[in-house]
A and B are shown apart, each in its own frame.
With several copies, the nearest count.
Chain A
Amino acid sequence: MRTVVAVTERVAETPSTVTLRFPYPTAAVPGQFVMLWVPGDDELPMSLSYTDGPSKGVTVKAMGGTSRRVQSIRPGDRVGIRGPYGNHFDLSPKRVLIVSGGSGAAALAPAAGRSIAAGSSVTVALGATRAPELLFKERFRAMGAHVEVATDDGSEGAKGFVTAVADRLLQSESFDAVWTCGPEVMMKKVIAAAAPRSVPVFCSLERHMKCALGMCDACAIGPYHVCVDGPVFPAPRLENLSDFGTFHRDSSGRRVPL
């Protein structure tokens, strides 16, 4: 079920994120993820940051041990890929607001791309800790998206949380849908901001994953399994889940604060 592929291209997107491209002809839809196996280390869920054509890609942020190890992968190195798994963004809305925190842009960029190609207008509220960490800013712009930026330290765009930018945009413009990916607390705020305007919000969630087949329960949140019922959830499904934005489960299945 796994395909071992040699990485063809490595792009340092920001100081902390790296994109790996590899041949993987299986069709994929923006929002879906793959399981990326780093032989000898671990296998991690990664959103496809490039979904179109035979060459796919993932964009990985340095977090713990394995993601750092992923970053040291060079063209020619081999990784295992299975998937794509999960559901995806509904690309039918014509006016979309994207709210991206940190590496969340990885899941959102291909959705923006296909959406604009299909004639939609896309506005991106792009957040990061500091200017160099703004992931896919140029890529979004090159697609034709309108990009507004926020950084924690104010080194580019608005200073502070990207949710403030999103809030402003939601007040000043009309949108048919909001797509968001990033820390759950951020997504919770996005949901709150969109609520008064009745704009439907779709959140892409991250949970610990093992099987990605809806079996092992590692990725359970409330009645859902993020690997098969998600990763994209309409906000109403999440709002009543006590763990959303507060708890996740670690590798042993223990509930631990986010």
Chain B
Amino acid sequence: MAELAVRCAGVNLRNPFLLASGVWGESGESLAGAWSAGAGGVITKSIGSVPRPGYPNPTIEAYERWGLLNAMGLPNPGIDEYPREIEIARRAGATVIGSIFAGDPEEFARLAVRMAATGVVALELNLSCPHAEGFGTEVGGTPENVEKVVRAVTKAVTIPVIAKITPNTGDAAGLALAAQRGGASAVSAINTLRALAIDVHLRRPVLSHGLGGLSGPAIKPVGLACVWQIFEKVTIPVIGVGGIASAQDALEYVMAGARALEVGTQVTFDGIGVFGRLATDLSRLLDELGFARLEDAVGVAHRASSVPPE
């Protein structure tokens, strides 16, 4: 069986499949559950400085098995209470990455210090929420802002920092490059695509917040393009996320340049067992395609292609 273990952003992962932030990540038991279901690591729900209830329901809308729209509104228990949950996950042996969000570089830095103190192996900075005012494009929409936030955080903590890049931009690679300049150990892409659903009977948006973010298989082609473009520009590892539902999807991301992967929405469609299945299937697929190690497949599609990137 092909070797799935990878080292990414200075963290050893038993396999590349991380639980994506915002899914099963509010309680320590759920994080532990994802770990024991076979995830290579778990990323917490994005945690802020204070508890946040999020938006009223409806907060989600599903499209068959190909897409999911959400505007949870970054609900989270806040950094004062959350260490308890991380402790539960760590006691279960999980490799935990702490996701945080904030409104400016200083708040990010303060939060980062608190999150690092919980013993997480790395931080992921949510620079890309498409629907929470003040926490999305405001901090992650321009290379300048991305660089400032990442620099503030990398100065404040010693653990690796992963910058999660928004796809709601004309130039994801430019944002990733800014994160690299700011000192990020890796970038992850993509978060959800800004999106909307309307109920024609009620003549109003379905989600209480109106705008939300699209995830699931529908965004895989978009995530792949972002990872591809980012891989061409940065030297730090790229973590691929968006619509991964099968080992083949995973390998597409890896060949486009991803060293690790995050899986979110598919947990809804398949249950948490998706992690065990993905790892087994990917190992088999690599065998079949003649790769001894996942690592050997990272970015290979760039070499084959005779076409210059855009």
Contact = CB atoms under 8 A, between A and B. Distances in A.
Contacts of A253: 26-27, 45, 51, 75-77
A217 B27 contact: yes
Contact of A252 (B27, B32, B76): B76
Nearest to A225: B30
Interface string B64-89: 00000010100111100100100000
Nearest to A42: B56
Interface stretch (A33-41, A100-108, A163-171, A182-190): A33-41
B199 A80 contact: yes
Contacts of A2: 58, 61, 199, 206
A85 to B, nearest CB: 12
Contact of B271 (A4, A214, A250, A254): A214
Given A213-B60, A252-B76, A218 B202 contact: no
Nearest to A6: B201
A40 B306 contact: yes
A35 B57 contact: yes
Give the bracket for the number of chain B residues in contact with chain A: 35 or more
Given A40-B306, A42-B56, A213 B27 contact: no
B230 to A, nearest CB: 24
B233 interface: no
Given A1-B61, A4-B201, A222 B29 contact: yes
Contacts of B56: 41-43
A92 B192 CA distance: 45
A78 B57 contact: no
Interface in A221-242: 222-223, 225, 228
Contacts of A41: 56
Contact of B58 (A80, A223, A228, A251): A80
B213 interface: no
Nearest to A212: B60
A197 to B, nearest CB: 31
A215 B24 contact: yes
Given A4-B202, A42-B208, A252-B51, A216 B61 contact: no
A211 interface: yes
A210 B24 CA distance: 12
B54 interface: yes
A255 B56 CA distance: 19
A210 B59 contact: yes
Contacts of A228: 271
Contacts of A215: 23-24, 60, 264-265, 267-268
A123 to B, nearest CB: 36
Contacts of A4: 199, 201-202
B27 A249 contact: yes
A253 B264 CA distance: 18
Given A40-B204, A216-B60, A217-B30, A254 B78 contact: yes
Interface of B: 22-27, 29-30, 32-33, 45, 51-54, 56-63, 70, 72, 75-78, 81, 84, 199, 201-202, 204, 206, 208, 264-265, 267-268, 271, 304, 306
By Cβ-Cβ distance, the 8 closest A-B pairs, closest first, are A43-B57, A251-B53, A217-B26, A253-B26, A4-B201, A220-B27, A252-B51, A254-B77
Given A2-B206, A251-B53, A252-B51, 16 more contacts: A4-B202, A37-B58, A39-B199, A40-B204, A40-B306, A43-B57, A211-B60, A213-B60, A215-B264, A217-B26, A217-B27, A220-B24, A223-B29, A223-B32, A251-B75, A252-B75
